[in-house]
Amino acid sequence: MSPLTRFTNDDAICLISKLEDSYFALPRIQHISKAYLPSRPAIYGLIDRLFGVLFPGFFGPQDLTRDNIKYHIINELQELNTALARQISQCMSLDAGGPSDAIEHQAVEATYEFLLGLPRLRALLATDVLAGYQGDPAAANTDEVVFSYPATIAIATHRMAHIFWNLKVPLMPRIMTEHAHSRTGIDIHPGATIGPSFFIDHGTGVVIGETTVIGERCKLYQGVTLGALSFPHDDQGQIHRQYKRHPTLEDEVVVYANATILGDVTIGKAATVGGGVFLTRSVPPGCTVSNKAVELKYRNRPNSLDRGYTADWQI
Amino acid sequence: MSPLTRFTNDDAICLISKLEDSYFALPRIQHISKAYLPSRPAIYGLIDRLFGVLFPGFFGPQDLTRDNIKYHIINELQELNTALARQISQCMSLDAGGPSDAIEHQAVEATYEFLLGLPRLRALLATDVLAGYQGDPAAANTDEVVFSYPATIAIATHRMAHIFWNLKVPLMPRIMTEHAHSRTGIDIHPGATIGPSFFIDHGTGVVIGETTVIGERCKLYQGVTLGALSFPHDDQGQIHRQYKRHPTLEDEVVVYANATILGDVTIGKAATVGGGVFLTRSVPPGCTVSNKAVELKYRNRPNSLDRGYTADWQI
Amino acid sequence: MSPLTRFTNDDAICLISKLEDSYFALPRIQHISKAYLPSRPAIYGLIDRLFGVLFPGFFGPQDLTRDNIKYHIINELQELNTALARQISQCMSLDAGGPSDAIEHQAVEATYEFLLGLPRLRALLATDVLAGYQGDPAAANTDEVVFSYPATIAIATHRMAHIFWNLKVPLMPRIMTEHAHSRTGIDIHPGATIGPSFFIDHGTGVVIGETTVIGERCKLYQGVTLGALSFPHDDQGQIHRQYKRHPTLEDEVVVYANATILGDVTIGKAATVGGGVFLTRSVPPGCTVSNKAVELKYRNRPNSLDRGYTADWQI
């Protein structure tokens, strides 16, 4: 190795052989001689490309006109058709333990269904953008919502991932929503079902679990959890998976900052859940739920008024 | 399209035509044949460049010396002057519905004012870095604060965006702070007014609303919301915008983790707000506010001591 | 400058000279004529490379086979050996005020120790991945945990940074964990000591302080803070640093979403801390602590049922 190195030849040989042993002793955390992993960078690139088709001009190339837009779409759809089918096929092959003609066929079919749904998806996303503008007094116009709001990234990525989820594409939907999670702090499981005109303000720390159902015109603020309460285990001590364990929000529900709603409960139509509320029960329609104000302790500390930096800032 | 494809020629033509229709039926979420969008990547690049001018050596090129620093600045300022004016002009043109000589002039003027303010901005940022070191026992020195703290990215980006906000540059300030939000989890609206020696520790989930006012030597922890309480609507059901609806923090206020302060209330000088407190009222100077300890339920579960992974972990 | 520019020659000269003055008047926030800063991009690249060695095939090149894996490792270790030693040496030189032969030697030694520990580190990471799968009903398999969970990025980065921390490498461990913080919203100080089989679900907003100690098979949810209660100051008003001020979690502790535990307290073996709990006291082994349900206020608002977007959504 490098001239500076502390490694003798023997050290190096020993380390390399220990690492090799470790790879084969711990196969869960390597992926050697197993083909067909999808490519994260390729999937991130596809997400960007899809944003360019869904919100042309706002994402992707900026020089689109009524004259060149058709050529742009044709080109993008061709690229997407090939590249999506390949990533989907790799995800399906990984899940199935290897490739097959049937998987190739399914991947092409899923890509076809997904791309055919793009016009319908745009109509849905238009309702979300309008909900963002109407729900936030700090939004100057809808351009600002499309162009700079994390909700647009998180919700549009979720809506795409959810279509792939319904098409039974494994892994890729989760990679897509975790990418949005990393960019926005908003963690929506691809399995969650979300109605039109959905808005999340600020959004950092929001968690929406796999079996959550959200109606139309709902709004969430930062730090809201729609989660599960606890996990039943079977006789072998394995947790159950895939049963309905997250909340249902009916239409027009608003949940304020840092509220936590756990379990398969129903928050009724037009109900409002206040900031910081911790809920594990259903709420009837039209009802407002808030914490009975926690009693506050006020302690006067007259000296603190001239403390500068030196005093003990204490809770 | 690809040989594998499921698309017939008719399918493809039909999809493309539906997408085109969708673009013109839903114009809010496209930007076709409308010039003058700013470029997000260009603005992100300008932010990086400005960090290199504000914290030379820490950001941007590392080989700066007393001898070459002048040439570095001259070069950077020339680039910034041209590139900032262009992005600002595009934001202003977008807002005004098209370009004009008056807008060009305003953009150049705003760039001039901004660049002239850089030395003053550095003086302010130096107070923030020192506040970070003095406010966090885990900080080994100020280099660590400049070089690795998310607060430095979030606060410096906010202070730049706030100058553009005051210069009436539309959209760009919001793009800047949302970029910092994505990188740090700290969401500061560019309209917020923040005094010197400001520090945010950890920071993920912090939200500071548009009309917030923060005095000198204040400190916030992760998850703190300085937000609005509710939005009045006019007769047409549109929400009011741009009135004072967020808190005022006087000098030396400390707000601990996950506290939420909502509405146009005043937290008096040197007051302390405890972790998790939910406040919608003003607090007098020098006062400490904390939750009266929520009564805790303790349940002993002796068997859980040998549960391993198989037991039911339940709230 | 540019033809459009508002700057006269005098303006430009004056601004440049003010900036230069500012650099030398505020030396804390520049790094001019001071060599030996580490490179953030280089360190981020090393993290990626190390992920490729720890989880081969999942990160880094995907075409690894039983035949080529040995050549891949040899190549990666050579690159890592040289590049790690260089970054470590720059961090140590920065800390010591300049380079020296002794520092070169220490950097090479620290690199050697770190690389020799990689097989042991893999064994630890395998326990974390399994804990992730076993602790989350939404995980389809361990591939999904390795490939798409933020916990994998945050915990593996922490475990590497913690080894460097124990080897007394300054600054670099913090740069590493802040990079993971930016990508995942999970902020783990490199000083924290964490046992095997550790899992963090969702994770956004998690803060784990410098002197935290976590046992085996613990699990945290999003928004959990393991923090310090307050900082004692010395006679000069400087805060004390580096004493034990964060919690200890014994084995098999579970902490649910948004709970805050502050101070040097001990959460006993197999204890469970409920969502949103604010704790500053120790908890005995096997005990479940939850908030006595905050009394909720339910207000019926029958008209809200037909409010649409126009009504006043109010907390």
Question: What ipTM describes this predicted complex?
Answer: 0.90
Residue pair C6/B109 in contact by the 8 Å Cβ criterion: yes
Q: Exposed, middle or buried, A35 (CB in 10 Å: 0-12/13-18/19+)?
A: middle
Look at the alpha carbons of A96, A102, A104, A105 in this order and tell me if their dihedral is positive or negative: negative
Q: Is the pLDDT of residue C311 over 50?
A: no
Q: Is residue B164 part of a domain?
A: yes
3-state secondary structure of A255: strand
**A-to-C residue pairs, Cβ atoms closer than 8 angstroms:** 253
Lowest mean pLDDT among A236-245, B177-186, B218-227, C209-218: A236-245
Whether C124 and C199 map to the same domain: the answer is no
- Residues in chain A closer than 8 A to B165 (CB atoms): none
Nearest CB neighbour to A108, from listed B6, B23, B311: B6
Q: In what order do the strands lie in the sheet with A278-279?
A: A187-188, A207-208, A225-227, A260-262, A278-279
Residue pair C251/C269 in contact by the 8 Å Cβ criterion: yes
| Among candidate residues B185, B206, B231, the one where a domain is terminated | B185
What is the rounded distance in angstroms from the CA atom of residue B70 to the CA atom of residue C33? 13
Q: Is residue A18 part of a domain?
A: no
Q: Angle at CA C249, nearest 5°, toward C244 and C255?
A: 125
Contact A123 B254 (CB under 8 A): no
Whether C147 and C279 map to the same domain: the answer is no
Determine the pLDDT at residue A242. Answer: 73
**Which of A14, A22, A32 best tests the C interface by mutation, with the highest count of C CBs <10 A?**
A32
Grade residue B294 by pLDDT with cuts at 50, 70 and 90. Answer: low
CATH code for position B35: 1.10.3130.10
Contact A315 B291 (CB under 8 A): no
Whether A73 and A161 map to the same domain: the answer is yes
DSSP state of B254: E
Whether C173 and C223 map to the same domain: the answer is no
State which H helix or E strand residue B50 sits in. helix B40-54
Determine the pLDDT at residue B54. Answer: 97
Distances (CA, A) of A7 to B70, B193, B290, C105, C110: 44, 56, 56, 13, 12
DSSP secondary structure string, A64-97? Answer: --TTTHHHHHHHHHHHHHHHHHHHHHHHHHHHHT
Determine the pLDDT at residue B309. Answer: 36
Q: Is any Cβ of chain B less than 8 angstroms from the Cβ of A158?
A: no
Nearest CB neighbour to C57, from listed A1, A34, A239: A34
Q: Is residue B1 part of a domain?
A: no
What is the rounded distance in angstroms from the CA atom of residue B198 to the CA atom of residue B180? 16
Residue pair C38/C171 in contact by the 8 Å Cβ criterion: yes
What is the rounded distance in angstroms from the CA atom of residue B10 to the CA atom of residue B107? 49
Q: Is any Cβ of chain B less than 8 angstroms from the Cβ of C40?
A: yes
In chain A, residues 172-231 whose CB comes closer than 8 Å to chain B: 183-185, 202, 204-205, 221-223, 229-231
Q: Average pLDDT over chain B, rounded to whole?
A: 89
Q: Is residue C4 part of a domain?
A: no
Residue pair B2/A89 in contact by the 8 Å Cβ criterion: no
Q: Is the pLDDT of residue C163 over 90?
A: yes
**Which of A6, A86, A168 best tests the C interface by mutation, with the highest count of C CBs <10 A?**
A6
Q: What is the least distance, in Å, from the CA of C80 to any CA of chain A?
A: 10
Whether A179 and A223 map to the same domain: the answer is no
Q: Which two tokens stand for residue A198?
A: 């959905």
**Which of A68, A80, A114, A143 best tests the B interface by mutation, with the highest count of B CBs <10 A?**
A143
Q: What is the least distance, in Å, from the CA of B61 to any CA of chain A?
A: 26
Q: Is the pLDDT of residue B242 over 80?
A: no
Nearest residue on chain C to B204, alpha-carbon basis: C205
Whether B276 and B196 map to the same domain: the answer is yes
Contact C2 B78 (CB under 8 A): yes
| Among candidate residues B169, B185, B201, the one where a domain is terminated | B185
Q: Is the pLDDT of residue B283 over 50?
A: yes
CATH code for position A276: 2.160.10.10
Contacts of C241-247 with CB under 8 Å at 24 or more apart are: C241/B137, C241/B138, C241/B139, C241/B140, C242/B137, C242/C210, C242/C211, C243/C211, C244/C211, C245/B137, C245/C209, C245/C210, C245/C211, C246/C192, C246/C208, C246/C209, C246/C210, C246/C211, C246/C212, C246/C213, C247/C212, C247/C213
Determine the pLDDT at residue C298. Answer: 78
Chains touching chain B through at least 3 C-beta pairs below 8 angstroms are A, C
Determine the pLDDT at residue B97. Answer: 86
Whether A87 and A233 map to the same domain: the answer is no
Contact A20 C70 (CB under 8 A): yes
pLDDT tens digit at each of 315 positions of chain A: 344 578 888 888 999 999 999 999 998 888 887 767 899 999 999 999 999 999 999 999 888 998 899 999 999 999 999 999 999 999 999 889 889 999 999 999 999 999 999 999 999 999 999 999 999 888 888 999 999 999 999 999 999 999 999 999 999 999 999 999 999 999 999 999 999 999 999 999 999 999 999 999 999 999 999 999 876 666 676 777 778 999 999 999 999 999 999 999 999 999 999 998 999 999 999 999 988 776 777 777 655 555 443 333 333
Contact B237 C310 (CB under 8 A): yes
Q: CB A166: neighbour CB atoms within 10 A?
A: 16
- Residues in chain C closer than 8 A to B101 (CB atoms): none
- Residues in chain C closer than 8 A to B56 (CB atoms): 23, 30-32
Q: Which two tokens stand for residue B88?
A: 């600002």
Contact A270 C129 (CB under 8 A): no
Q: In what order do the strands lie in the sheet with A248-249?
A: A193-194, A213-214, A248-249, A266-267
Chains touching chain C through at least 3 C-beta pairs below 8 angstroms are A, B
pLDDT in tens, C260-274: 999 999 999 999 999
For tokens 């850089």, the residue is B118
Of the candidates B35, A90, B131, A269, the one whose C-alpha atom is nearest the C-alpha of residue C300 is A269
Per residue, the 3-state secondary structure of chain C, as one string, reads CCCCCCCCHHHHHHHHHHHHHHHHHCHHHCCCCCCCCCCHHHHHHHHHHHHHHHCECCECCCCCCCCCHHHHHHHHHHHHHHHHHHHHHHHHHHHHCCCCHHHHHHHHHHHHHHHHCHHHHHHHHHHHHHHHHHHCCCCCCHHHHHHHCHHHHHHHHHHHHHHHHHCCCCCHHHHHHHHHHHHHCCEECCCCEECCCCEEECCCCCEECCCCEECCCCEEECCCEEECCECCECCCCCECCCCCCCCEECCCCEECCCCEEECCCEECCCCEECCCCEECCCECCCEEEEECCCCEEEEECHHHHHCCCCCCCEC
Whether B247 and B169 map to the same domain: the answer is no
What is the mean predicted confidence (pLDDT) over B146-153?
Answer: 95
Q: Is the pLDDT of residue B308 over 70?
A: no
Higher pLDDT, A295 or C23: C23
Q: Is any Cβ of chain C less than 8 angstroms from the Cβ of A263?
A: no
Q: What is the least distance, in Å, from the CA of B274 to any CA of chain A?
A: 5
Number of domains in chain A: 2
Q: Is residue C238 part of a domain?
A: yes
Whether C175 and C229 map to the same domain: the answer is no
Residue pair A191/A185 in contact by the 8 Å Cβ criterion: no
Q: For B179-234, list the strands marked E by DSSP.
A: 187-188, 193-194, 199-200, 207-208, 213-214, 219-220, 225-227
C272-273/C254-255 β-pairing: parallel
pLDDT in tens, C198-257: 999 999 999 999 999 999 999 999 999 999 987 666 667 677 777 899 999 999 999 999
pTM of this structure: 0.92
Contact B144 C31 (CB under 8 A): no
Residue pair A209/A231 in contact by the 8 Å Cβ criterion: no
| Among candidate residues A153, A186, A219, the one where a domain is terminated | A186
Phi, psi angles (nearest 5°) of residue C226: -110, 90
Q: Is residue B47 part of a domain?
A: yes
Determine the pLDDT at residue C173. Answer: 97
Q: What is the least distance, in Å, from the CA of C193 to any CA of chain A?
A: 22
Whether B113 and B250 map to the same domain: the answer is no
Q: CB A147: neighbour CB atoms within 10 A?
A: 21
What is the rounded distance in angstroms from the CA atom of residue C86 to the CA atom of residue B113? 42
Whether B158 and B49 map to the same domain: the answer is yes
Determine the pLDDT at residue C297. Answer: 78
Higher pLDDT, A157 or C34: A157
Residue C148 belongs to domain spanning: 17-185
Q: Is the pLDDT of residue C73 over 80?
A: yes
Q: Is residue B108 part of a domain?
A: yes
For tokens 């945050």, the residue is C154
Q: Is any Cβ of chain B less than 8 angstroms from the Cβ of C94?
A: yes
Q: Which two tokens stand for residue C194?
A: 């964490």
Whether A218 and A279 map to the same domain: the answer is yes
Q: Is residue A139 part of a domain?
A: yes
Half-sphere exposure of C243 toward its Cβ, with a 13 Å CA cutoff? 10
In chain C, residues 164-183 whose CB comes closer than 8 Å to chain B: 170-171, 174-175, 178, 181-182
Chains touching chain A through at least 3 C-beta pairs below 8 angstroms are B, C
Contact B6 A70 (CB under 8 A): no
Determine the pLDDT at residue B315. Answer: 33
Contact C233 A209 (CB under 8 A): no
Determine the pLDDT at residue B233. Answer: 66
